Amino acid sequence: MVLLSFSVKKEELLAGTKIRTTRLYTPEKYALWQRTLPDGDLFLDGWWKPRTKDKDWLFIRKGADLYRLKFDFINGRIWPFREGWITSAYLPMTYEDAQQWATEEGFENDLEGLIAFFVDHYAPLGNTVFQSIAFPPVKGGL
């Protein structure tokens, strides 16, 4: 199992309105996340505050839609750029893809809020790479 830990949005995780996480990229973590995809041999193990007395196991699921992304300026504003499928070039996300990413992150109709979160917490410009994976709920289970 691959541990995913969260300290915010517990209600959204339980309700299934947050079904994606985006974290700083590391080759080791990315390789583990790849192994949680449908054909892989691992699962994502979701916990809320696993290192505190308030720890609470939330789910075990397969991962989906794994990709890397960066942020850069486009038309004078910070925008997410997703790594391409055919080449490793980072291309600007379409507005629809960016909105979908925000919704899955628990920021429905608040793409600007999600981008502001990354700006405030990570200073994401430059060559900072993130990895993002979805963990959609499964029917009849966690």
User: What pLDDT does 142 receive?
Assistant: 54
Q: How far apart are CA 70 and CA 79, in angstroms?
A: 8
Q: Which residue has the tokens 């990354």?
A: 118
Q: Which residue has the tokens 């959609």?
A: 136
Instruction: Output the pTM of the full model.
Output: 0.89
Q: State the chain's maximal CA–CA distance in angstroms.
A: 46
Domain positions in the chain are: 2-134
One digit per residue, pLDDT tens: the chain, 142 residues? 888 888 778 888 888 889 999 999 999 999 999 999 999 999 999 988 766 677 788 889 999 999 999 999 999 999 999 998 888 899 999 999 999 999 999 999 999 999 999 999 998 888 899 999 999 987 755 5
User: What pLDDT does 80 receive?
Assistant: 97
For 9, counting Cβ atoms within 10 Å of its Cβ (0-12 exposed, 13-18 middle, 19+ buried), the class is: middle
Tokens of 58: 């939330």
Domain 2-134: which CATH number of 2.70.98, 1.10.10, 2.40.128, 3.10.400: 3.10.400
Q: Which residue has the tokens 């925000």?
A: 102
